[in-house]
Amino acid sequence: MLQYFFGLLYLFSVLLFVTLTGSQADECPLQLNPQRVVVKYGSSVSVNCSTSVQHKGMGWESSEGAVPMTKDSLTTWRVSELRVWGIEPSCYINYNKPQCAVNLLVTIYKTPDSVSISTVNHNGPMMERNQYELQCDVLNVAPVQYLTVNWYKGQTLVNQTIFTDTIKTPVNKTSKLLISPVRADDGAQYRCEAKLELGEEGPRPPPTNTSKTLNVEVYYKPKHSSSTETISKTKEESLNCTVKANPAPTYSWHSEHLKETISSSVIRSSTLSSGNYTCIATNSQGTDSKMFIIISTGRTTFWAIISCGVIVAVVLIIAYAIYKCNASPNSVI
């Protein structure tokens, strides 16, 4: 038992010794509050440096806002308009060991002067399935290490570029997006967004600047959802060849029953005789045809006559039965 007690005591003393001497050997007895600052270029900043040990003097070394040595236990680095990119202030202390110092981490940021979106080497409508390049230019932003460019199509994030350069001064950056538009993308709205994600000490929400929207126009050929449609002659229906396409298509109807070609997108069935009618929709991107089959009503009439006959027969039988029932008592009397 006693052995254990002394063993533990020894362990604790060793730990205590290591902690005390260790901390005094490797660590400077200074506390910075806060330890890291994120400052908007040109705005104010202040950081406290304090100690709890006896000392012969402490102060701030800095290209701006340096504080001369003081005997106090707290000294404040303060700049009212910080305009020195890459400033590296440090707080130092003289005590029983040689002088030691702690560096303050300063991040100075600047939101971009502009964020603009454009199409690379192209103007006007895009062709379906061709590849195009969109470009986002972010001017005069710092530090790019914290910059993210987000690409949006409508409300959807489609891609993201992050930058890894460690340069601290403002620079221009470009991000590119490759797109292969399809017909559904006609009218799509693209934009890019430059976001400075400066970490916990940074502003919330992160400073964000967005480009204008770029409207994409896509040219695509007409394409009917079905290539044939059957229409009954008795029904008052339309032969509707209307189809989506960009640019808007032109129409032409062909049939042995038509004396001349018709160029509207819809024709009424009532004026037509049964048979096949083909409509061709055409624009600069291509052509698509659709056949309408108007069926004769012959069979329908046949069955209508049969059912009419059956109904008439049934009615006659019932009428005869009623007549019989009513007539019988009379005949007895």
CB nearer to ligand NAG: give 133 or 314.
133
Residue showing tokens 């292969």? 180
Q: Burial of 91 by CB count in 10 Å (0-12 exposed, 13-18 middle, 19+ buried)? A: buried
Query: Are residues 186 and 246 in contact, defined by beta-carbon separation less than 8 angstroms?
Result: yes
Residues 21-50 that bind ligand NAG (CB under 6 A): 33, 48
Q: Strands 218-219, 275-283: parallel, antiparallel or unpaired by DSSP? A: unpaired
Residues 300-319 that bind ligand NAG (CB under 6 A): none
248 binds ligand NAG (CB under 6 A): no
The only residue of 19, 21, 130, 172 in contact with ligand NAG, by rule CB under 6 A: 172
114 binds ligand NAG (CB under 6 A): yes
Contact region with ligand NAG (CB under 6 A), list: 15-23, 65-73, 84-92, 110-118: 110-118
131 binds ligand NAG (CB under 6 A): no
> How much of the chain is in helix, strand and coil states, percent to nearest 5?
20, 40, 40
Question: Would you say the C-alpha torsion 229, 234, 237, 238 has a positive or negative sign?
Answer: positive
Contact region with ligand NAG (CB under 6 A), list: 6-14, 107-115, 125-133, 296-304: 107-115
The only residue of 139, 272, 280, 295 in contact with ligand NAG, by rule CB under 6 A: 139
159 binds ligand NAG (CB under 6 A): yes
Query: Are residues 244 and 210 in contact, defined by beta-carbon separation less than 8 angstroms?
Result: no
Query: Are residues 92 and 99 in contact, defined by beta-carbon separation less than 8 angstroms?
Result: yes
Query: Are residues 37 and 104 in contact, defined by beta-carbon separation less than 8 angstroms?
Result: yes
Residues 52-91 that bind ligand NAG (CB under 6 A): 74, 76
The only residue of 240, 274, 278, 297 in contact with ligand NAG, by rule CB under 6 A: 240
* Cα gap 282→224, rounded to integer Å: 12
Which residues, 6 or more positions from 171, have their beta carbon under 8 angstroms from its beta carbon?
Answer: 140, 141, 142, 144, 165
The only residue of 31, 94, 116, 209 in contact with ligand NAG, by rule CB under 6 A: 209
282 binds ligand NAG (CB under 6 A): no
- Residue ranges that bind ligand NAG, judged by CB under 6 A: 33, 48, 74, 76, 111, 113-114, 139-140, 159, 171-172, 207-209, 238, 240, 242, 266, 275-276, 293
